[in-house]
Structure 1
Amino acid sequence: MRPFYLLLKLSLNISFRLFYKRFLVLNKHKELFGSTIYVSNHPNSFMDPILIGSLNRPIVHFMTRSDVFVWWLKPILWSAHMLPIFRQQDGTDTKGKNTDVFNKVNSSLRKGRNILIFGEGFTDDIPIRGLKPVKKGPIRMGFGALESINWSKNIYISGIGISYTDRNTMGSEFVLDNGPKICLNDYKQSYLENPSKVINEVTRIVEKNMQDCIVYVAKPARYSLLEGIMQITRKGYNNLNHDDHIPLLKRWNYSKQLATWINQNVTDESTEILALQKDLDAYFNLEKRMKVQDRFVLAKKEPELVSTLNNWLYLILIWPFAIVGFIHGFIPYIISKKVTEKIMKRRVFWGSVKMMMAQIIGSIYNVPIIVLVTKWYLPHWSLGILYYFLIPVLWRLSYEYAHQFKEIQIKRKMKSVDLSKFAEKRAELEKRINELIPVA
């Protein structure tokens, strides 16, 4: 393991705990090294590799699109265990360049190292609750490595699934699920007889395992049906509308079960359910246009959703820490936000880039502040070091402080709005869901 990779693994592990409200890593593989090709879905661009590399135990080398490897970044990317993969749109002689890369992959697998590759190939701009067809490249890579070492060592392949409640929002949640390992050596005889058939077969198995690791809706046209039902029942994996008292794992399993039911039961002839989907879409689109959050529609039934008591308690109790966090974190936050949104045209990159950039800028920005504070106010330098490592926590408190203040303003404003028509429509939708969807 290269030192920079270790540093990232440790520091980002902490960053995730501050960026996300909660998360789960399921079915962890225990081996640091295991000659395994991990194939993951790719819902969140830069966030996915750093998340898998930091939170999973196995040490991995990342297959990364080659256009990222500009000259000044190459040493950093090499230190972070990244290997380029060349695509047709990257220019001429991609086959020759990839041959060199695959030789390095073969060598890594022979030495017991692990490879991480994203089987979908790219990230969608619009979030999906699905999985695009998994490419055959990872399976070909595994069998190619076995051929290069004359089948003398076991090489494995494993699917990974990541499900976010909202991929770019601080305070959201995710579940990372690791699928079972498949030993490619078990297919030796069949592969020698018919390589194409076996590659297709193993690709289908890995794809199915990946589907089992996420909240998976087979048809994109049904994404909004799942999302609408989850929001009305508040039992599912929607970031804005869910019951926070329900454990994350239970909400994730509920959403998977609901998605499976939709896959198995909803067809183009399911007129009542399709009419329900249309009405759900209309209801939530109207809320969006009117700038109404669904929790305010539930205010009479669940008044705690609009109570400001907890918000005021937070403001009263946390303000000293929030001020300190603001001093240390505001400038790095603003710089990372402005720069990211200016240079990154695709919003899918924003969450991960902002988090990484704020971490780097904040680490540098706060060194002279801590030196001065230690010199003038603290009795020993060790307290200054401790203070330095507490800065991310203080900044997170200040960020939450601003959020709680905004919450009070929103709740005050919404108290004067008549939402009775929304409440009637919501009650009707809830009744139809309970009648038509047995797993809801």
Structure 2
Amino acid sequence: MLYAILKLIYKIGLWIFFRRFEVHNRHLMPDGGPLLVVSNHPNTFMDPIVTASLLRQPVYFIAKSTVFGSDFQNWMLRQMHLIPIHRREDNPGKPVSNEEAFSASFEALRQYKTLLIFPEGNSFNQRRLRKVKTGTARIALGAEATGVKGLKILPVGLNYSAPTRFHSDVFVNVGEPILVADYATAHRQDGQEAVLALTEEIRKRLEQLIIHTPTDEEDEMARQVEAIYKERLAAAAPSDIPAHIQDFLLTKAIVSGINYFSQREPERVAALKEKLSSYMLQLRRLRLKDEIMGLRRKTVLWRSVLRVLYLALGLPVYAYGLLHNYLPYIIPSKVARAATREHEWYAPIMLTAGIFTFPLFYLLEAWLAQELLHLSWSWTAVYFLTLPLSGFFTLHYWNTLQHTQEHWLLLRLFVKRRALVKSLRLQREEIMAELEAAKEEYLAQANRGLQ
């Protein structure tokens, strides 16, 4: 019962927290077990919330034993379907036994339940898949050996645009299920070899479903290339592909291209990286973004005028929304920063706190309005509906204000520092030309490989 209530609350919270929540191949998600769901783990507590919200059936979670504590805490966590598992890093120097967790997992799978496992073990806010541990394969093959039939492993890739930021995007990429029975014969012949083979298959499947940048340096370069070049790539891409899938595939292609040239022409990549870093640093110092550097002066001026008009007309609604939504919006952020210094925990803490702050504040504001203004129930309901709507408008207004400031900064540079703008645009054109040439070489090589 507690699980069902929390799932409903969090599903509503996810709809509000994320600007876009896209799912690819949702039809591959079975409606029942026995099922092991495996996923990458970039965003701590947010990852199980996102994944479990997409499955119709109840989900049981394999969690590190350190989250368990007092008897009441243990009872609460078990009501939320958590199964503790012990890790060597949690108890250094002590023998580790997961017999209880494995037995509980086998029993759950025998009852056709669904288990969610993050085979990397720990959560890190990175666009890569770390080492996949063997626990998932051991549970799967062990369950198969004890008579669990039809067991599948469902790989799920979680891709966040900005894991710790409110109103960011998440793209959930669902892969083809792995049939554990395909490894049963090999497991009977050589258990350890079968575990390693299944673990490697899980790794490969997950790596295909996410943006995987091998190092922080390559990830930084990939983000810079995305900022400058992705829009041009998207313009040349097939128009019949949904935008969220196209965005994912383009980023994968950029990462693949960087990896390709890093192995074959590292000096060329290093030179391009230096140009990108220098250009981006200059933009940061000027408080500008690349997306407006490719616009003509008249376009910047025209857009600025339209946005100023929008800001002027929308100011009263913005003030209304800010007055009613500032505290419930800012409190979750303050709570997250007070509760932890680990950025990976910001988003789930903000989501959890916001689930309570917004409804409570809205109810309090509606009650005060009714008491102080003597509103009827119908007018109180109308007033209540304006609170979340004005909140969304306020967020959009603020983002528009930020973009307008960037446009005015650029216009100011056009007037006072024209040589600097010209220099930045020349740098941008040079970088774009190099990226275009690299793309043509990469595609030509790929085509030769297919012939």
Identify the residue that residue 241 of structure 1 maps to in structure 2: none
Structure 1 residues 111 and 222 mapped into 2: Cα distance closer, same or farther (>3 Å)?
A: same
* CA distance in 2 between partners of 1:189 and 1:300 (Å): 65
Structure 1 residues 397 and 145 mapped into 2: Cα distance closer, same or farther (>3 Å)?
A: same
- The answer on 1:355 being equivalent to 2:351 is yes
Identify the residue that residue 242 of structure 1 maps to in structure 2: none
Give the match's secondary structure for 1:416.
Answer: helix
Give the match's secondary structure for 2:221.
Answer: helix
TM-score (norm 2): 0.83
Shift of 1:343: 2.1
Contact map agreement 2:283 2:289 (CA 8 A) in 1: yes
Contact map agreement 1:311 1:404 (CA 8 A) in 2: yes
Shift of 1:237: 11
Structure 1 residues 368 and 110 mapped into 2: Cα distance closer, same or farther (>3 Å)?
A: same
- Partner letter of residue 219 of structure 2? Y
Structure 1 residues 202 and 15 mapped into 2: Cα distance closer, same or farther (>3 Å)?
A: same
| Structure with the higher fraction of residues in helix conformation | 2
TM-score (norm 1): 0.85
Identify the residue that residue 178 of structure 1 maps to in structure 2: 174
Q: Which runs of 5+ in 2 are unaligned?
A: 235-240, 444-451
Contact map agreement 1:32 1:59 (CA 8 A) in 2: no
Give the match's secondary structure for 2:112.
Answer: coil
Structure 1 residues 173 and 134 mapped into 2: Cα distance closer, same or farther (>3 Å)?
A: same
> Deviation above 6 Å: which 4+ runs of structure 1?
none
Contact map agreement 1:65 1:84 (CA 8 A) in 2: yes
Of 143, 146, 150, the residue aligned with 1:145 is 143
Shift of 1:75: 4.5
Contact map agreement 1:41 1:119 (CA 8 A) in 2: yes
Contact map agreement 2:300 2:411 (CA 8 A) in 1: no
- The answer on 1:83 being equivalent to 2:67 is no
- The answer on 1:283 being equivalent to 2:283 is no
- Which structure would you say has the larger Rg? 2
Contact map agreement 1:83 1:101 (CA 8 A) in 2: yes
The equivalences for 1:103-182 within 5 A come to: 103-124=103-124, 127-147=125-145, 150-182=146-178
Aligned residues: 425
The equivalences for 1:13-412 within 5 A come to: 13-28=11-26, 29-71=28-70, 73-91=73-91, 95-96=96-97, 98-124=98-124, 127-147=125-145, 150-235=146-231, 247-267=243-263, 269-300=265-296, 303=299, 307-309=303-305, 311-312=307-308, 314-315=310-311, 318=314, 322-373=318-369, 376-380=374-378, 384=381, 391-412=387-408
Post-superposition Cα deviations, 1:166-198, rounded to whole Å, max 9, x if no partner, equal 212233222101111112122211101101111
The equivalences for 1:411-426 within 5 A come to: 411-417=407-413, 418=417, 419-426=421-428
Post-superposition Cα deviations, 1:33-83, rounded to whole Å, max 9, x if no partner, equal 221111111112222111111134453212223333343644443333222
* CA distance in 2 between partners of 1:413 and 1:53 (Å): 44
RMSD between superposed Cα atoms in Å: 3.1
* CA distance in 1 between partners of 2:198 and 2:208 (Å): 15
Structure 1 residues 393 and 100 mapped into 2: Cα distance closer, same or farther (>3 Å)?
A: farther
* CA distance in 1 between partners of 2:279 and 2:348 (Å): 32
* CA distance in 1 between partners of 2:242 and 2:422 (Å): 27
